[in-house]
Amino acid sequence: MSVANAIESRRSCHLFDPEQALDDAVIARLATLASRAPSAYNCQNWRFIAVRSASGKAALAAAAYGQRKVSDAAVTFIICGTLPPQHGLAAALQPAVLRGDVSAALAASWVSQASDTFHDQPQLQREEAIRSASLAAMTLLLAAEGEGLASCPLSGFDAAAVRQAFALPPEQLPVLLVSIGHAASGNAPQKPRKALSELLQLA
Ligand SMILES: Cc1cc2nc3c(=O)[nH]c(=O)nc-3n(C[C@H](O)[C@H](O)[C@H](O)COP(=O)(O)O)c2cc1C
């Protein structure tokens, strides 16, 4: 499947087959693909919690206002952005330094720039967490499509309830849920989009 095909065929699935689970190896592959998303300085300021147990799904569905897809999908990922984004950046850059893609001096300068940008800037930290987690979530949606799986992003959840149910530490901000599994019958196709003339400006 080409990337264009995946983008065009993906739809927000509202009816999942509750009988079809996913192996943890598939869940790990999806998370690995999601982790290929880009992030500022390659901060990788995200965490993915894959909720696939019956008790976990029940707790998450309750925090998502009873949205049925959270109970029925094989897995729902809680996509968290982490704060502050520069935390752990030096270690995150180390593999690129060791491979010779980024010089040690450049990596050090990125750590310094990121620290200068985000230190004592909770609003900027939060914005970056949402940016990174959103890109990871979109990558996860396309990864699911590429694996022949159905998916749906959800922002309809009570963040405080999710935090409490999954004991999220303060530095993990739940940004989006992404339900993934096998589609049941009866799902509508992707919804039509606005005309390009309404959204594209050539400058
Ligand atoms: C940020 C975001 C939040 C969303 N939250 C929900 C949600 O809580 N429940 C739901 O059923 N769908 C949710 N959706 C799915 C949208 O309704 C869907 O993407 C949109 O209607 C377009 O449909 P399509 O993806 O099938 O083209 C969300 C999508 C996004 C991007």
Does ligand 1 lie within 6 Å of residue 126's CB atom? no
Name which residue sits closest to atom 7 of ligand 1, judged by CA.
Answer: 154
Which of 104, 106, 103, 107 lies closest to 89 in space, CA to CA?
107
Q: Judge whether residue 126 has pLDDT over 90.
A: yes
Cα distances from 150 to residues 9, 37, 108, in angstroms, run: 10, 19, 41
Going by pLDDT thresholds of 50, 70 and 90, the confidence category of residue 1 is confident
Task: For the chain, give the number of residues.
Answer: 203
Q: Tell me the C-alpha distance between 83 and 173, whole Å.
A: 8
Q: Tell me the C-alpha distance between 1 and 7, whole Å.
A: 10
CA of 12 from ligand 1 middle (Å) equals 6
Helix (H, G, I), strand (E, B) or coil at 124: helix
User: For the chain, what percent of residues have pLDDT higher than 90?
Assistant: 100
Name which residue sits closest to atom 16 of ligand 1, judged by CA.
Answer: 12
What pLDDT does residue 127 have? 98
- The H-assigned helical ranges of 2-121 are 3-9, 24-34, 54-63, 68-72, 89-99, 104-118
CA of 16 from ligand 1 middle (Å) equals 15
Average pLDDT over residues 13-23: 98
Does ligand 1 lie within 6 Å of residue 155's CB atom? yes
Q: Tell me the C-alpha distance between 12 and 192, whole Å.
A: 12
CA of 21 from ligand 1 middle (Å) equals 22
Cis peptide preceding 174, ω within 30 of 0: no
CA of 197 from ligand 1 middle (Å) equals 23
What lies within 8 Å, CB to CB, of 146 at 6+ separation is 1, 6, 33
Helix (H, G, I), strand (E, B) or coil at 122: helix
CA of 34 from ligand 1 middle (Å) equals 18
Does ligand 1 lie within 6 Å of residue 121's CB atom? no
Contact indicator for 58, 161 with CB cutoff of 8 Å: no
Does ligand 1 lie within 6 Å of residue 153's CB atom? yes
Q: Tell me the C-alpha distance between 102 and 116, whole Å.
A: 20
Q: Does domain 3-85+130-186 have CATH number 1.10.10.60?
A: no
Average pLDDT, the chain: 97
What value, to the nearest 5°, has the Cα angle with vertex 25 and ends 13 and 187?
A: 10
Does ligand 1 lie within 6 Å of residue 11's CB atom? yes
Break the chain into its structural domains and give their ranges: 3-85+130-186
Going by pLDDT thresholds of 50, 70 and 90, the confidence category of residue 142 is very high
CA of 162 from ligand 1 middle (Å) equals 19
User: For the chain, what percent of residues have pLDDT higher than 70?
Assistant: 100
Q: Tell me which residue has tokens 């968290």.
A: 80
- Cα-based torsion angle of the residue sequence 188, 189, 191, 192 in order, rounded to the nearest 10 degrees: -130
pLDDT tens digits, one per residue of 69-121:
999 999 999 999 999 999 999 999 999 999 999 999 999 999 999 999 999 99
Question: Which residue type sits at 117?
Answer: T
